Amino acid sequence: MYTAYLDHASATPVRKEVLEVMLPYFNEHFANPSNVYDLGSKVKEAIEEARANVAGFINAKPAEVVFTSSGAEANNFAIKGVAFAKQKKGNHIIVSSIEHHSVLNSARFLERLDFEATFLPVDQNGLVDPERLASAIRPETVIASIMHANTEIGTIEPISELAAICKEKDVVFHTDAVASVGNTRVDVNALNVDLLSLSGASLGAPKGIGALYFNKKVRLMPLIHGGIQENGRRAGTENVPGIIGFGRAAALAQKELPAKIDHVRKLRDRLVQGIHKKVEKVTYTGHPDKRLPGHASFCFEAIEGEALIFMLVQNGIYTNTGSACASKALKTSPVLGAIGLRADLAQGSTVFTIDAGNTEAEIDHVLEKLPAVVDRLRALSPIWGKEIPEYEEKVCT
């Protein structure tokens, strides 16, 4: 069967070049990087080279990068680390309502420890209003966290503008850039952020490795205590193969990013135009222009997203519905609810995420098979044909 894999936001294969540089660090260069003798020192040097590659990819300094187990851990580290370190200043944090669960649940965890959290609304395109952020900041606000790009609807937020507001009011600003690093240009200085989370898996590195960029002026309370690894910021023997792979993936991505952006944008536009032409009653979610170049997300009226995914798989097409961390929950997506989509339409969510290895033939395969699958599911739907508005009357209050 012909296969079109278009779910790179949830998982993407480890690149051959990345795997090759990782393999020796499982059995040949196996020493602990904390050891003082030469075997350990050589591994430590390789880690620092990888750190420099990761830092260079986002225009940071190597000393400003801490390796973590994932983007989710980096988000936890940023939000809890700042909140705990700045308790003398205040106990208020701000996050957007469409953040990844690792941000939302960190905020909810801190609420149980007598912190206060404000969850900023977004508009129908998923954008945070800078004026709303400014009005939400209080004297006791210690950190604001707004994601760079949303993995479910693809919208890219005005991060530099939001960060500038926080800088003026002495509030630390963090952005979750897991969805954007490797898929669009990310420069920590241009974005003006204090903290930024990223993941190796987004670049063709293995799962289980991430990083947190931090401005050295920011105080962070470590979440994992033990040894002096990562300059005392994160204890535990390093995931050496993962770090080496992350570094190699970052170096490759830096060279290839301009060509990749151009390639995936063309494929995305081909997919979007084709679906709008061949399928009726479909809502394109997220901002039409300010979005990730390889991201296309839709809600198909009168269809259950899970059913659509399973039927597409039978045609060799792999995509997703909602966030990879929530797609098995069988609940209405909080992100789609936040942008004002009514619940039954949100249930028909389908997300296509395109990578450099995808082809026009794969997009055309989707456009050939998708309409018939949609028609078949709608024929079984008890609500197909009813006239219902796409958005609730009152959106994002």
Tokens 């008890």 correspond to: 382
Query: Using 50, 70 and 90 to split pLDDT, how confident is the model at 326?
Result: very low
Q: Note the pLDDT of residue 323.
A: 47
DSSP letters for 284-330 = E-S-SSSB-TTEEEEEETT--HHHHHHHHHTTTEE-BSS-TTTTTS-
Tally the domains of the chain: 2
Catalytic site positions: 325
Q: Note the pLDDT of residue 391.
A: 55
Q: Report residue 4: phi and psi, to 5°.
A: -125, 105
Give the whole-number percent of the chain exceeding pLDDT 70. 94
Given a cut of 90, whether residue 328 has pLDDT beyond it is no
The verdict on 125 and 245 lying in the same domain is yes
The verdict on 37 and 185 lying in the same domain is yes
Q: What is the CATH number of the domain that holds 128?
A: 3.40.640.10
The verdict on 291 and 236 lying in the same domain is no
Q: Note the pLDDT of residue 390.
A: 57
Cβ–Cβ under 8 Å, residues 253 and 120: no
Stated pTM of the model: 0.94
Q: Note the pLDDT of residue 2.
A: 84
Query: In angstroms, rounded to a whole number, what is the distance separating the alpha carbons of residues 213 and 29?
Result: 27
Give the whole-number percent of the chain exceeding pLDDT 90. 91
The verdict on 146 and 171 lying in the same domain is yes
Given a cut of 60, whether residue 312 has pLDDT beyond it is yes
Lowest mean per-residue pLDDT among 17-26, 44-53, 84-93, 384-393: 384-393
The verdict on 81 and 132 lying in the same domain is yes
Phi-psi region of 324 (alpha: psi -120 to 50; beta: other; left: phi over 0): alpha
Cβ–Cβ under 8 Å, residues 344 and 383: yes
The verdict on 262 and 289 lying in the same domain is yes
Segments forming the whole domain that contains residue 330: 4-10+258-379
Q: Return the higher-pLDDT residue of 391 and 202.
A: 202
Q: Note the pLDDT of residue 165.
A: 98
The answer to whether position 393 is within a domain reads no
Arithmetic mean of pLDDT, 340-356: 95
Q: Note the pLDDT of residue 393.
A: 40
